[in-house]
Chains A and B, each alone.
Chain A
Amino acid sequence: MSEYTVVGQTVARVDAVEKVTGAAQYGADIHPPGMLYGKIVRSKHAHANIRSIDTSEAEKLPGVRAIITQDDVPSGRRVFATDKVLYLGEPLAAVAATDPDIAEEAAERIKIDYEVLPVVQDVIEAIKPSAPRLHGDDTKDGPNRREISGQIRTLSRDKENDHSDEISKLEAELEAYPDEVYYNISAESHTEAGDVEKGFAASDVVVEDTYVIPRVHQTYMEPHVSVASADSSGKVTVWASTQGPFAIRSGIAGTLGIPLTQINVIGTTMGGGFGGRFGVIITHVPAVLLSQKTGRPVRVQMTREEEFTDGRPAPGCVIKLKTGATNDGQILAREALAFWDSGSVSGASIGSTIRVRGVYKIPNLKVDAYGVHTNKSGTAAYRAPGAPQAIFAGESQLDEIAERIGMDPVKFRLMNMREEGDAVPAGGSEPKVGYKETLEAVADAAGWWNREADENQGWGVAVGDWTNGCGPGGVYVSVHEDGSVRIFHGSMDITGTDTAISQIIAEILTVPYESVTIRRGDTDSAPYSTGSGGSVVTFTMGNTAKLAAEDAHRRILELASERLNTNVDDLELKDGAVHIISAEQPKSISLGELAAYSLSTTGGPIVGKGSFARQASTPALAAQIAKVEVDPGTGRTRVLKLVASQDVGFAINPMAVEGQIEGGTVQGYAWAMMEEMQYGEGGNINPGFVDYRVPTSADLPTVESVIVEVPAPNGPYGAKGVGEPPITPTLATMANAVKDAIGIRITELPIKPEKVVDALKSNGR
């Protein structure tokens, strides 16, 4: 039996009624009087020089109130393309009109004269010298050239001695790697621990493969939207559908040169985010510019098609991975070379390549990662950014090793998993973690140990790790005269976090969950809050809420001690009232009475304040098992069973935690089996739900979730962030299950039916 009464219990969410009645106000539901409709004018080519933009025909259309281009951006910061576009859908101008259809018509009437340029969409093509250059002529060295160049630099620095012979020898060595001069590189990241060459030499089995993971869209159901209203004093109000209103405020301030205090961002109910809802330029800045120009509120709302062409999806990547192990199952070395498709700007999560190390003891590790420019929109975070891609490669290859050495994939993983105190490759040492417990839990729940498979059926297992982030936040708690509790804060609810915050405060103030209400302020009113991404909210705001409730708790006892004329140490808050402990005559006073009394005291009303920014987080594991059946005729893979366990530290609202596990697992399934943004010479070619298929209820069975609780020392009640881990292992879980079913390793996602048919054919089946 839990020692708690509210946390750890399943409760209906605080926003339950508004969400099921249509009352919740999302971004596009905001409609201030006199509002105009904005529309962004977008490039029709994936790579082109812009010769001219002619808005004259559009201006003639009745109902058009403003047309803006980069000339209308006083700060000069790039909002619209001017001389060159780098991807299909890149913004060139924006229109505001009295009706959305008029705005669209006007956007179509704007004439743009393009000089079309050659396009590069594939990262492996983009790094070659023959590829068109997106941003000048930047080149970087690949891993071997890097090492030699490093030696040359070291020798050149030694002015005392003459190294010219050695240097010319090394310079000649450089010539041996002509393919390692990479073009179109946006960023690079290199990590090394131990000596991989020694590790491979000592290995009995070495497996090497190339894994290709497609670019996918977060596909939150609410397209990007913002409503901006600039008044004549210069004050700007923005209703923004965003994960981080404070980040949007500073983003608008920085982009447009408006003082922070002149901007108020009101976060509207968020229709999904998954990491993709932090962008500033995407709709918010054009909306502000249009409102400033027209003096009227303006809504800029993306269509689904615009989401696909100009959203900020998850980067695809190509990972060359090599792993060495001994015959008795010890992993000795792993080496990765990754090329991340960052699109037209830098920003792909290339640092996540390190996650190929997984949760295993790998003494020798080398990771080289590059971000590569292509003619696509930029990328952004998507649920555990970069981890699903890297873990797909790592966990796929682990199964290949397990097969070569004849070991059960679960046992192989358990044998190599890190425990408390073990060295993290290229990291510190592991705190207390629940890796083995979580994998064992899913194996037991799925029936792994006595699994059976008919013909064309197979089982797959994989694990993925993630550590929640942390960030600043503030919470106020007030206790009212009726004993009710009101919470005020500034963080966006991301599917249940407001509920978790409410539960925590109810727990500490010993009141029923139902007597707590929570209100989110805008950036003008609320204390600063970190963005709702990186699984930070329950960890950060949960800790913040705890501090606020404890502060209120102190004031409550202080008031009760005055009122009951008793020392604070003899008092206890329980069941919504303060009691004298072990009094001969039991005496108590309710929270409501204390709140009423507080109004006429010197110290004043009960207001608890919590402020928090940072404490160490603890890694969490997600482990999954799938049973599939592949139809060799059609290539279709049907999921027969999908079981997902996760170490959540402590489940504050178990139903919501299950929901996160189920939802994340299905997103991972979709990345493995269905989703892929496809690009041709002209840009994205599948910008809609018919060609970019996301799963529906018809595609899947019930996902069985298994909650494992290995508490995080600094998490509220031991809680770890739960949102991101469940997507991390599923790509490999599915690929491993398909391999088990058909005996063929598919290394290029998604595992669409045609790919399976091709694989079977090329293996003579």
Chain B
Amino acid sequence: MAKLPVSLTINGDEHDLLIEPRKTLLAVLRDTVGLTGTKEGCSTGDCGACTVIVDGKAVTSCMVLAVTASGKEITTIEGLASDGELHPVQQAFINTGGYQCGFCTPGFIMASKALIDENPDRTEEEFRHALGGNICRCTGYTKILEAVLKAAEEIRTTA
């Protein structure tokens, strides 16, 4: 299959790539760029494990063709910590025990970050519904919600 030139800005780095149009952003991140922190849980956009942030919005990268992301700013889980400091959402997931097997965690953290950036004042109920596109099978969500609320509070008070 013929390949197309694509320019992706991933975690601040520019990547000029030649990509088959059928490849998803998820496949390119994992197999071409080698950023395997973003996970593939269903390939149908239903589980949220592959969530990354594209131009400020959380998207399931298995539902995005990489060629359509050309020129856009992409943040993956690998790009969240800065200067050796974990992002408050990451730290909150550790402190509350908001992860177990960890497979859904990158997607949850990226979705939570985008939601908090958009509006950190959501109630628990609102966060519960806003995170309804991400599946976790281990935690039962109780500690994930605790983490998200803690992170939102911290971001709210330090912003």
Contacts and interface: CB of A to CB of B under 8 A. Distances in A.
Interface string A221-250: 111000000000000000000000000000
Given A21-B81, A21-B86, A221-B49, A659 B139 contact: yes
A697 interface: yes
A304 B43 contact: yes
B59 to A, nearest CB: 17
B44 interface: yes
A411 interface: no
Contacts of A220: 101, 103, 137
B36 interface: yes
B80 interface: yes
A689 B90 contact: no
B135 A16 contact: no
A26 B100 contact: no
Given A221-B41, A304-B44, A15 B22 contact: no
B131 interface: yes
A619 to B, nearest CB: 23
B97 interface: yes
A22 B137 contact: no
B33 to A, nearest CB: 12
A384 to B, nearest CB: 15
Interface in B128-151: 128-129, 131-145
A221 B103 contact: yes
B102 A689 contact: no
Nearest to B141: A697
A663 B46 contact: no
A15 B94 CA distance: 10
A19 interface: yes
Interface string B25-66: 001001100111111111110110100000000000000000
A436 to B, nearest CB: 26
Contacts of A24: 102
B104 interface: yes
Nearest to B78: A22
Given A221-B136, A269-B102, A698 B128 contact: yes
A688 B42 contact: yes
Contact of A222 (B35, B41, B90, B141): B41
Contacts, number: 177
Contacts of A100: 27, 31
B91 to A, nearest CB: 8
A271 B103 contact: yes
Interface string A667-689: 10000000000000000000011
Contacts of A655: 96-97, 143
Contacts of B23: 101
B153 interface: no
Nearest to A694: B135
Contact of A19 (B20, B27, B105, B131): B105
A29 B40 CA distance: 10
Q: Is the interface of B mostly helix, strand, loop or mixed?
A: loop
A21 B80 contact: yes
A270 interface: yes
A180 B109 CA distance: 56
Q: How large is the interface on B (under 10, 10 to 19, 20 to 34, 35 or more residues)?
A: 35 or more
A689 B44 contact: yes
B22 A20 contact: no
A570 B104 CA distance: 52
B37 A23 contact: yes
A22 B129 contact: no
Contacts of A663: 100, 137-140
Contacts of A347: none
B95 interface: yes
Interface centre among B42, B106, B144, by most chain A C-beta atoms within 10 angstroms, is B42
A273 B103 CA distance: 11
Given A222-B39, A272-B103, A690 B97 contact: no
B23 to A, nearest CB: 8
A670 B106 CA distance: 23
A31 interface: yes
Given A271-B103, A690-B44, A696-B132, A21 B77 contact: yes
Contact of B97 (A269, A659, A700): A659
A135 B36 CA distance: 44
A694 B48 CA distance: 13
Contacts of B77: 20-22
Contact of B36 (A15, A17, A22, A695): A22
Nearest to B41: A221
A189 interface: no
A689 B101 contact: no
A270 B140 contact: no
Contacts of A496: 100
A19 B90 CA distance: 9
Interface string A336-358: 00000000000000000000000
A101 B138 contact: no
Interface in A525-579: none
A656 B39 contact: no
A297 to B, nearest CB: 14
Nearest to B91: A20
B115 to A, nearest CB: 12
A665 B140 contact: yes
Nearest to A688: B44
B105 A20 contact: yes
A272 B138 contact: yes
Given A22-B36, A101-B22, A667 B86 contact: no
Contacts of B139: 659, 662-663, 666
Given A20-B90, A665-B140, A688 B102 contact: no
Given A21-B80, A22-B37, A697-B132, A221 B101 contact: yes
Contact of A495 (B31, B132, B138): B138
Interface of A: 10, 12-13, 15-26, 28-29, 31, 100-101, 218-223, 269-274, 303-304, 495-496, 655-656, 658-659, 662-667, 688-690, 694-698, 700, 702-703, 705
Interface of B: 1, 20, 22-23, 27, 30-31, 34-44, 46-47, 49, 76-78, 80-81, 86, 90-91, 93-97, 99-106, 109, 127-129, 131-145
Given A22-B76, A697-B129, 4 more contacts: A269-B102, A303-B43, A304-B47, A688-B46
* CB-CB nearest 10 A-B residue pairs: A22-B37, A271-B103, A666-B140, A19-B102, A22-B77, A689-B46, A698-B132, A29-B36, A662-B140, A495-B100
21 contacts: A20-B102, A21-B80, A22-B35, A22-B36, A26-B39, A31-B34, A31-B36, A220-B137, A221-B136, A272-B103, A303-B42, A496-B100, A655-B96, A659-B97, A659-B139, A662-B141, A663-B139, A665-B140, A690-B46, A695-B141, A697-B141
